């Protein structure tokens, strides 16, 4: 389980910095550093096994019903990337402590950083591709928070949105590609997929899966034409830039290319898509970097170029190119993180990152300048530094690669990109640190505290040591990582500074010479660059986004213009068309089940049902009559349930009808009694014809589907429920056992939705009591006369006599529900109706003064009790909401049964009562505001002195 902790520790640690900041900045940093260090130490504890070629595994069942496991595995590749993420992350944590200003929310920063760190570690250690996708999207979200950390800066907000848009879109493509890959391989486990190369590459789905997966990789690693988001992410604080560009975010795409190399590489499609994209990105990024004046902008485009270099190497598809790619990832992480931190030091101490305002810093900042010189020289590929070694290997592979039969194209373009790389690296050195001192620095430059220069110094030390002793320091690591990438033993290759006079050495010498010449001619080249027309990626992105938004708006306004009739027409038409298409696409015959005779009572009920529906349709504008007609239809359905031996459904139907009709009638008090007649409908009679055709087709389709089902024999779950209701659920009322046991989770979701709906009604009606709507309500007068006798004595007496009887009936229905028709839902509706009648008969103020219940709390208590019932089953090591029962004996009472489902039913009861009564309370509040109904206050706010005497008696 220590491998799982490597992933979980940063995620758990992300909770602490925001809390520890109250104890001071050092305590905040220490908490973040400790969790990262623990994860790094646990990772290193597996190093001996990894270097022996073993694969460490850990995990647990995630969704066992679907055969999905949350598995992690650690091989050479995962160890390498996790080491970069956690190791450089520790340095960034220390660096950020001294970089961030006092008014920067440091706790928030470290929480975001650890969240991002945990997501990245999750990507590189996941064995399940679905789990990998979860972490992949989490990196997009957490990087959005990091890039937009300085949310007061418009460029920070825009950079974060741009990164999230591009990488999020690529992530959606990759989700589809990974699902296709899992379908081809027959498994979602990476270790199983990596053994299916022949099956995957022979599948017709290989190319679609490849394109979709590469879409995710290219967007994440800023490959052309998706490279533009990365430079705009420079609006983030420099510690974020250093982390994202050296070891994390942009390396995620490279990691996935390396991880999928054994099964996706080796085809012409892979070569031309990946190698070509990488080559173009390397060249374009290097060329643009040369003309950037912002230090971080220059480094950002150089990152784009180096990411393209590694992508190109992986695209070549040869084992030696894969080795070169792995080696350059290591080298790039060391010198690029050091350079970004150096750029932050210059900005922090000199007050600017603009190269045009810098120069002569070597004498003023000797420590920082020395570190920058070494790191930039490695980026340029100068010996004896590590960047020189991997650049030589890249040029060697480029010289040996043919593109469309041409053996010189790749080598020439790669060498050209290397020339630009030398030029922008020398520009970083010469234009920033050499030359005369200036007297117009925004701040007097000086070396920073040790906490800022020590982290990049450690990385620069690695740059030098790996360059001098590559075989000793990097050889074993590169070998084990390359073996994991290629799916076998790494090929023989020499990691040395000198390989003799080779073509790669000649190309490297050309790059150094030409790069130096480019720097010497930089003023002229800069003038030509500025005079020429070149596309601006940000403007293109903004234009494309604006066009997409405008097109979407036109589409939405054209299809969804606010007309519910049109929306329903689209919905009903689409569903009907899909149903008829499915019906006509397959052969079918007449059903063989014998038909039952239609007794006169059923025929009469059916005709009444049709008549009620027709009446509701004809009287739809007369709202009161339409509600009555719909209520009559519900009562007929209730009779049908009784006729079909479904007493539970009949009780539910009649209680729902009574409660909803009463509430709807109360709501109609505030509405015109007749609905408006649409003038557009009068002008467009074809709309009526369309609606009639759709309604007829949908009705006919439902009738045919019902006929087809009822005239055919078939099996269903009903047999299982009937056989197991008593033995498994302890109740003879199968319907109730299904609701509280077999499908208790559905019921729990339904009462949760009911509670949310009640709270939404409260919020909507509460809003109607304020502002313009509240003023209109206060000035509103009913469109019909209001009765003088608001509370007829007969109704008052009748409801008060009926209340205890109704409550007794409700209790009886509740207690018998597990074995006889009834249950918590029906009992709640019976009790709600009884309470509604009290409010209607005697006034809200009178009733609320006596029923002092907070209906919000009642809803919450109901959902909480139902949830605790389910959690109690989990405590006993049973699935959520598993019920239990037992039989007990008491003197005088005799034998009786107790079931845990009663507690769940209690939650259902409380939620339903609270939801119905909350709706009633809000309607009464509106009536009070309108001034035409009796006093209406929430139960807890009732002031007895404010209740009129007629309401108190």
- Using CA atoms, how far apart are residues 338 and 371, in angstroms rounded to an integer? 8
One domain, residues 147 and 267: yes
If you average pLDDT over residues 377-388, what whole number do you get?
Answer: 91
What span, in angstroms and rounded, lies between the C-alpha atoms of 940 and 857?
Answer: 12
Nearest to 459 by CA among 36, 111, 95: 95
Structural domain span for residue 662: 598-675
Query: What pLDDT digit, counting tens, does each position of 83-113 carry?
Result: 999 999 999 999 999 998 888 889 999 999 9
Residue 872 has pLDDT above 90, yes or no: no
Report the C-alpha gap between 304 and 902 in whole angstroms: 63
Residue 79's Cβ-count burial label (10 Å; 0-12, 13-18, 19+) is: buried
| Token pair 């059923």 in the structure block, residue | 602
Rounded mean pLDDT of 382-398?
91
DSSP helix/strand/coil, 366: helix
Distance of CA 863 to the CA centre of its chain: 26
- CB-CB contact of 59 with 5 (8 Å): no
Looking at the fold, whether 499 and 625 belong to one and the same domain comes out as no
Res 893: pLDDT? 67
485 and 621 fall within a common domain: no
Tokens of 780: 């509103």
Q: Which residues contact 590 (CB under 8 A, 6 or more apart)?
A: 711
Last residue of a domain, one of 520, 543, 577: 520
Average pLDDT score over residue span 563-583? 86
* 769 is a domain residue: yes
Quote the pLDDT of residue 678. Answer: 56
| Overall average pLDDT of the 293-305 stretch | 91
Predicted local confidence at residue 952, as pLDDT: 38
CB-based contacts of 257, cutoff 8 Å, min separation 6: 217, 221, 274, 311, 314
- Whether 407 has a pLDDT exceeding 70, the answer reads yes
- Taking 60 as the threshold, does the pLDDT of residue 953 lie above it? no
Q: What is the mean pLDDT of the chain?
A: 86
Contact 612, 633 (CB under 8 A): yes
Query: Does residue 779 surpass a pLDDT of 80?
Result: no
Both 309 and 174 in one domain: the answer is yes
Has residue 115 been placed in a domain? no
- 308 falls in which pLDDT band (50, 70, 90)? very high
Domain boundary among 648, 675, 702: 675
The average pLDDT across 427-443 equals 87
- In this structure, the answer to whether residues 669 and 787 fall within a common structural domain is no
pLDDT at 137 over 70: yes
Q: Model confidence over 491-525: pLDDT tens digits?
A: 777 787 777 778 888 898 999 999 999 988 888 88
Residue range 654-663: average pLDDT? Answer: 88
Spatial distance between the Cα atoms of 477 and 432, rounded to a whole number of angstroms: 35
For residue 384, whether the previous peptide bond is cis, meaning omega lies within 30 degrees of 0, is yes
The answer to whether the CB of 181 falls within 8 A of the CB of 193 is yes
Task: Inform me whether the pLDDT recorded for 942 exceeds 50.
Answer: no
pLDDT tens for 111-134 read 999 999 999 999 999 998 988 999
pLDDT at position 944 is 39
Is the model's pLDDT at 950 over the cut of 50? no
Structural domain includes residue 412? yes
Cα within 13 Å of Cα(572), Cβ side: 19
pLDDT on residue 116: 93
**Residue 688, domain member (yes or no):** no
Q: What is the tens place of the pLDDT at every residue in 610-647?
A: 888 888 888 877 888 888 888 888 888 988 888 888 88
Q: Which has the closest alpha carbon to 43: 82, 85, 90, 93?
A: 82
User: Residue 154: is its pLDDT beyond 50?
Assistant: yes
Tell which of 675, 702, 726 closes a domain. 675
Over 90: is that where the pLDDT of 711 sits? Answer: no
Query: For residue 1, what pLDDT band results from cuts at 50, 70 and 90?
Result: low
Can you read off the two tokens belonging to residue 281?
A: 């990105």
Tens of pLDDT, residue by residue over 158-192, are 888 888 889 999 999 999 999 999 999 988 889 88
Q: Tell me: pLDDT of 783 over 90.
A: no
Amino acid 939: pLDDT: 36
Helix (H, G, I), strand (E, B) or coil at 591: coil
Residue 186 lies in a domain: yes
What percent of the chain is helix, strand and coil (3-state, nearest 5)?
Answer: 75, 5, 25
Q: What are phi and psi of 702, to 5 degrees?
A: -65, -40
75, 127 contact by CB (below 8 A): no
**Range with lowest mean pLDDT among 287-296, 307-316, 705-714:** 705-714
Band of residue 249 on the pLDDT scale cut at 50, 70, 90: confident
Report the pLDDT value the prediction gives residue 946, as an integer from 0 to 100.
Answer: 40
- Asked if residue 373 and residue 287 are part of one domain, the reply reads yes
User: Residues 653, 785: one domain?
Assistant: no
Residue 548 belongs to some domain of the structure? no
Kindly state the average pLDDT of the residues 712-738: 85
In whole angstroms, how large is the CA radius of gyration of the chain? 37
921 located within any domain: yes
C-alpha torsion sign, points 534, 539, 540, 541: positive
Two structure tokens written together for 338 = 């050091």
DSSP state letter for 556: H
As a whole number of angstroms, the distance between CA 96 and CA 99 comes to 5
Angle, CA of 814, 820 and 826, to the nearest 5°: 40
The per-residue pLDDT for 546 is 87
DSSP 3-state of 622: strand
Q: Is the peptide bond before 86 cis (omega within 30 degrees of 0)?
A: no
The reported pLDDT for the residue numbered 943 is: 40
Answer yes or no: do 750 and 670 share one domain.
no
Highest mean pLDDT among 598-607, 663-672, 879-888: 598-607
Shared-domain flag, residues 284 and 417: yes
> Which of 180-184, 266-270, 433-437 has the least mean pLDDT?
433-437
Q: Above 90 in pLDDT, residue 464?
A: yes
Rounded to whole angstroms, the Cα distance separating 672 from 621 reads: 10
| Among candidate residues 80, 121, 514, 122, the one with its CA nearest the CA of residue 331 | 80
Cis status, amide bond into 141, omega within 30 of 0: no
Tens of pLDDT, residue by residue over 684-697, are: 677 778 888 998 89
pLDDT interval class at 233 (50, 70, 90): confident
Q: What is the per-residue pLDDT for 34?
A: 93
Q: Any idea what the Cα angle at residue 119 is, between residues 51 and 331, rounded to 5°?
A: 50
Closest CA to 673 of 628, 611, 609: 628
- Taking only the tens place, the pLDDT of each residue in 818-852 is 888 888 899 999 998 988 888 888 877 787 778 77
Total number of domains in the chain? 3
- Say if 583 falls within a structural domain: no
Tell me if residue 884 falls in helix, strand or coil. coil
Q: Per DSSP, what are the bridge partners of residue 622?
A: 674
Span of 331-345, 501-515, 596-610, 892-906 with lowest mean pLDDT = 892-906
pLDDT band for position 928 (cuts 50, 70, 90):
low
Distance CA 262, CA 613 (A): 65
Does residue 319 register a pLDDT over 70? yes
Residue keyed to tokens 């679609």: 208
Among the listed residues 450, 417, 466, 462, the one whose alpha carbon sits nearest the alpha carbon of residue 302: 417
Once rounded to an integer, what is the mean pLDDT over residues 676-680? 58
Are 323 and 448 contained in the same domain? yes
Question: Is residue 288 scored above 70 in pLDDT?
Answer: yes
Per-residue pLDDT averaged across 1-18, rounded? 88
Residue 940 has what pLDDT? 34
The model's pTM: 0.71
Determine contact, residues 342/368, Cβ cutoff 8 Å. yes
Omega before 314 within 30 of 0, i.e. cis: no
Tell me the pLDDT band of 677, cut-offs 50, 70 and 90. Answer: low
Whether residues 280 and 377 share a domain: the answer is yes
**What local confidence, expressed as pLDDT, does residue 605 receive?**
87
- Mean pLDDT on 658-677: 80
pLDDT at 110: 93
- Mean pLDDT over 206-230 rounds to 90
- Give the confidence band of 461 by pLDDT, cuts at 50, 70, 90: very high
Question: For position 927, what pLDDT does the model report?
Answer: 67
Q: Are 165 and 131 in contact (CB under 8 A)?
A: no
Residue, of 765 and 743, whose pLDDT is higher: 743
Vertex 942: Cα angle to 938 and 945 (nearest 5): 155
Residues 480 and 614 in one domain: no
Q: What is the distance between the alpha carbons of residues 325 and 486, in angstroms, rounded to a whole number?
A: 12
Burial of 416 (0-12, 13-18, 19+ CB in 10 A): middle
Backbone angle region of 82, left / alpha / beta, with phi > 0 → left and psi within -120 to 50 → alpha: alpha
- 803-806 long-range contacts (CB < 8 A, ≥24 apart) are 803/834, 803/837, 803/838, 806/830, 806/831, 806/833, 806/834
For residues 314, 315, 317, 321, the Cα torsion angle rounded to the nearest 10 degrees is -40
Residue 786 has pLDDT above 70, yes or no: no
Does residue 31 have a pLDDT over 70?
Answer: yes
């Amino acid at each position: 389980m220590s491998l799982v902790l490597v992933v979980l520790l940063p995620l758990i640690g992300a909770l602490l910095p925001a809390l520890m900041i109250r104890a001071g900045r050092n305590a905040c940093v220490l908490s973040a550093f400790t969790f990262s260090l623990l994860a790094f130490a646990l990772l290193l504890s597996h190093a001996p096994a990894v270097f022996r070629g073993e694969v460490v595994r850990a995990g647990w069942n995630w969704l066992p019903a679907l055969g999905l496991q949350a598995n992690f595995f650690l091989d050479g590749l995962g160890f390498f990337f996790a080491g970069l993420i956690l190791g450089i992350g520790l340095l960034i944590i220390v660096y950020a402590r001294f970089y961030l200003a006092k008014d920067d929310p440091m706790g928030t920063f470290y929480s975001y950083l650890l969240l991002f760190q945990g997501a990245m570690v999750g990507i590189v250690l996941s064995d399940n591709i679905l789990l990998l996708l979860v972490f992949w999207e989490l990196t997009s979200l957490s990087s959005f928070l990091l890039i937009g950390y300085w949310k007061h800066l418009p460029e920070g907000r825009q950079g974060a949105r741009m990164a999230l848009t591009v990488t999020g879109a690529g992530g959606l493509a990759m989700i589809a590609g990974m699902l296709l890959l899992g379908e081809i391989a027959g498994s979602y486990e990476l270790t199983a997929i990596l053994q299916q190369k022949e099956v995957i590459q022979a599948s017709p789905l290989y190319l679609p899966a490849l394109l979709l997966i590469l879409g995710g990789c290219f967007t994440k690693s800023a490959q052309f034409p998706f490279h533009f988001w990365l430079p705009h992410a420079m609006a983030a604080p420099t510690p974020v830039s250093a982390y994202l560009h050296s070891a994390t975010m942009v390396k995620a795409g490279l990691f996935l290319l390396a991880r999928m190399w054994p099964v996706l590489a080796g085809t012409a499609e892979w070569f031309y898509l990946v190698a070509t994209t990488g080559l173009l990105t390397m060249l374009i990024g290097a060329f643009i970097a040369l003309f950037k004046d912002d230090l971080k902008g220059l480094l950002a485009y150089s990152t784009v170029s180096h990411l393209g270099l590694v992508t190109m190497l992986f695209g070549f598809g040869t084992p030696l190119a894969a080795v070169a790619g792995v080696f350059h990832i290591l080298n790039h992480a060391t010198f690029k993180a050091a350079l970004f931190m150096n750029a932050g030091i210059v900005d922090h101490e000199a007050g600017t990152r603009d190269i045009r305002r810098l120069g002569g810093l070597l004498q003023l900042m000797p420590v920082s300048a020395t570190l920058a010189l070494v790191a930039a020289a490695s980026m340029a590929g100068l010996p004896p530094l590590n960047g020189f070694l991997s650049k030589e290997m890249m040029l060697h592979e480029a010289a040996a690669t043919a593109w469309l039969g041409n053996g010189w194209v790749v080598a020439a373009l790669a060498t050209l990109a290397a020339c630009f790389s030398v030029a922008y690296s020398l520009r970083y050195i010469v234009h920033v640190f050499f030359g005369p001192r200036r007297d117009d620095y925004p701040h007097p430059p000086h070396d920073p505290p040790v906490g800022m220069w020590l982290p990049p110094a450690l990385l620069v030390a690695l740059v030098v040591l790996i360059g001098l002793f590559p075989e000793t320091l990097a050889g074993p690591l590169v070998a084990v990582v390359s073996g994991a990438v290629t799916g076998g033993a790494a090929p023989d290759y020499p990691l040395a500074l000198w390989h003799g006079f080779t073509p790669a050495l000649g190309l490297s010498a050309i790059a150094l010479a030409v790069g130096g010449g480019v720097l010497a001619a930089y003023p002229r080249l800069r003038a030509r660059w500025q005079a020429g027309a070149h596309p601006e990626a940000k403007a293109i992105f903004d234009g494309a986004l604006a066009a997409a938004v405008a097109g979407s708006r036109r589409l939405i306004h054209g299809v969804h213009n606010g007309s519910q009739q049109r929306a329903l027409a689209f919905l009903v038409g689409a569903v009907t068309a899909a149903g008829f298409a499915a019906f006509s696409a397959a052969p079918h015959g007449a059903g063989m089940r014998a038909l039952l005779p239609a007794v006169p009572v059923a025929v009469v009920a059916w005709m009444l049902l049709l008549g009620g529906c027709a009446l509701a349709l004809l009287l739809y504008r007369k709202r009161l009559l339409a509600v009555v007609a719909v209520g009559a239809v519900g009562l007929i359905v209730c009779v049908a349930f009784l006729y079909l031996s479904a007493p539970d459904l009949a009780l539910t139907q009649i209680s729902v009808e009574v409660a909803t009709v009463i509430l709807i009638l109360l709501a109609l008090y505030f509405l015109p009694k007749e609905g408006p007649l649409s003038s557009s409908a009068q002008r467009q009679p074809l709309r009526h014809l369309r609606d009639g055709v759709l309604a007829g087709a949908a009705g006919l389709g439902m009738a045919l589907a019902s006929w087809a089902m009822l005239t055919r024999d078939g099996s269903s779950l009903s047999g299982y429920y009937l056989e197991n209701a008593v033995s498994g659920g302890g109740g003879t009322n199968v319907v109730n056992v299904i609701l509280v046991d077999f499908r208790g989770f559905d019921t729990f979701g339904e009462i949760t939705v009911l509670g949310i709906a009640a709270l939404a009604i409260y919020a909507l009606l509460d809003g109607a009591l304020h502002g313009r709507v509240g003023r209109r309500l206060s000035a509103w007068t009913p469109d019909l006369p209001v009765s003088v006798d608001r509370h007829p004595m007969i109704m008052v007496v009748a409801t008060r006599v009926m209340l205890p009887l109704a409550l007794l009936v409700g209790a009886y229905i509740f207690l018998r529900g597990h074995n006889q028709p009834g249950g918590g839902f029906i009992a709640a509706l019976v009790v709600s109706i009884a309470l509604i009648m009290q409010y209607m008969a005697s006034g809200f103020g009178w009733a609320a003064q006596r029923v002092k219940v907070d209906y919000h709390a009642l809803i919450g208590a109901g959902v909480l009790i139902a949830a605790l019932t389910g959690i109690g089953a989990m405590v006993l090591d049973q699935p959520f909401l598993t019920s239990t029962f037992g039989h007990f004996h008491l003197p005088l009472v005799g034998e009786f049964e107790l079931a845990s489902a009663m507690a769940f039913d209690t939650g259902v009861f409380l939620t339903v009562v609270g939801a119905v009564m909350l709706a009633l309370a809000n309607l009464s509040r509106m009536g009070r505001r309108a001034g035409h109904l009796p006093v209406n206050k929430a139960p807890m706010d009732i002031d007895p002195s404010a209740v009129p005497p007629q309401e108190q008696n």
